[in-house]
Amino acid sequence: MSKIGQNLFYSALFLFILALCFVFNNVDPDFFARVMQGDAVLQTGHVLFNDPFSYTQTHAWIDHEWGSGVIFAVIQKIFGYAGQVFLKAIILFFIIYLIIEIVNLNPKMKNKPLNFLFFVFVIYAFQTLLINGIRCHFFTFLFFTLFLYILEIVRKYEKNKLLYLMPLIMIFWANIHGGCVSGIGLLMIYALGEALNRKPFTKYLITALACSSVIIINPYGFEYIKFLLMATTMHRTGINEWNALFSTQLANLLPVKIFVICSILLFIEKLFRNIKFEHDFTEYITLLVVFYIGLSHIKQTPFVVITSMSFLYCEISFLYDSFKTKIFKNNTNSKIIIFARNFISLFFIMISLLVISSGNFVPKNTSYYPYKVVEFIKDNNLKGKLLNEFGIGSYLAYKLYPHMLIFMDGRYEEVYYNILVIQNDDFYIPTKNWENTLNQDGGADYVIVRKKFMAYENILSLAKSGIYKEIFGDENYALFCKKELFKSSYLKKNYSETEYGKKFFDKIYKFKQI
């Protein structure tokens, strides 16, 4: 492919990803807690070692994502949420760019991956990343792909000095996201695979040991390593993204499921087609491991996309060439093919630019958050303990700390004991123990609940008996307070949706030097 064709391809790829980030412009529920930790580091010079945002009992805060929080906080301060949208697009682009470079390491595949329509399918296979706002584990998938690229250069071209970079990258990775353990796991897989391939493998073990050793360079010392061991093996109660991929209805995450099934079939096809030849155990073991973790946990499916594209593109190219030969019988003019590819790239560039030109950076999922209730609380200077459901706690803390303390948020194993998750479910699902949650740790002064939840009917029953009173409600949420905190009148400002949008990311907290 010509230089012009390559530039068109990569321009179309980035702009298409950016356009999709506009279309799926959602803000992740945990984003706000990440920014708060980042702000704490920027304002005080150190991480928060204990949780200041909850009124419930918590343990020491081991934040395996504190570095991501600093990145998000800096971007939010300088560029606003628009910067987070661009960051998401840049990370996704570089993941795919590195995958293409891995495929290009095979001389037979040089420039063959530059098939734009195929990568549209690949991008949608990253559905679990696309549909969410920027999250810390985006960095893990980027670094995992980078590690895979380095390891492929090392074993194919024996550029062993590149292995020296990996412990340095690991220092950064370990302080960005706890998914750094996947990098160590990848090195161990390469050691095993290359041993079975009867090739030098100790260099991968030594690098894995070096990467494991540098993880201790973090604000928490050895406690961080103990936390990672616990977090990577724990069962997470009631969190959908940690469920098995095919435990959901077939229509859910359909592009991901199709991609995983196709990848497994391609892997089987590769095994049988190469049955008479020497097998690459490194590729096989890596694929089998990522198939297992991708099928076991929805959150881990991007590992399947990254590894399958890196190791199975040759099979895709083989099938594509066979199909093309049967249809066109090699009579198609190469200039026509080049023109068609460039035309497709230009078409996607124009469509993407039309989407991007809207310039709408307001998150699409603001209705998930109780932003009207939050402004009511702020306008009336309400203070106390606020019982909230798991998913919106991070947003409430971001908007209302230090005047309101929340029950819990999505930091889960970082901060909370597992019993709190159960108690939160008791109230919001609810169970027969729902009233116990209201009285947890001295009792909630205020309660926020979705009107479509059964918990709303329960809290209304307490309102009828005078224990709690409803003081504000919008289309989705209602706010209740204890009867002794009830006021005869409340300030209710009539903000427009535009005004609410401008206030959505406002914050009032400041962290003091200790």
Q: Where are the domains of the chain?
A: 1-48+59-135+341-359, 136-236, 255-328, 366-503
Count of C-beta atoms within a 10 Å radius of residue 185? 18
Q: 296, exposed or middle or buried, with CB in 10 Å at 0-12, 13-18, 19+? A: middle
pLDDT in tens, 74-117: 999 999 999 999 999 999 999 999 999 999 998 777 666 677 77
318 pLDDT band, cuts 50/70/90, is: confident
Count of C-beta atoms within a 10 Å radius of residue 253? 20
203 pLDDT band, cuts 50/70/90, is: very high
Picking from 381, 412, 391, 404, the residue whose alpha carbon sits closest to that of residue 477 is: 391
> Is the predicted pLDDT of residue 328 greater than 60, yes or no?
no
DSSP string, 218-283: STTTHHHHHHHHHHTT---TT-GGGS-GGGS-TTTTHHHHHHHHHHHHHHHHHHHHTTTS---HHH
> Is the predicted pLDDT of residue 359 greater than 90, yes or no?
no
Higher pLDDT, 286 or 514: 286
pTM: 0.94
Q: What pLDDT is recorded for position 508? A: 94
331 pLDDT band, cuts 50/70/90, is: low
CA 279, CA 271: separation in Å to the nearest integer? 8
Q: What pLDDT is recorded for position 35? A: 98
Q: What pLDDT is recorded for position 330? A: 56
Collapsing DSSP to helix, strand or coil, 197 comes out as coil
What's phi and psi for 106, nearest 5 deg? -80, 115
Percent of the chain with pLDDT over 90: 76
Count of C-beta atoms within a 10 Å radius of residue 117? 10
CA 83, CA 75: separation in Å to the nearest integer? 6
Percent of the chain with pLDDT over 70: 95
Mean pLDDT of 450-468: 91
CA 15, CA 116: separation in Å to the nearest integer? 12
Higher pLDDT, 393 or 514: 393
321 pLDDT band, cuts 50/70/90, is: low
> Is the predicted pLDDT of residue 236 greater than 80, yes or no?
no
Whole-angstrom CA distances from 116 to 110, 263, 368 are 15, 19, 34
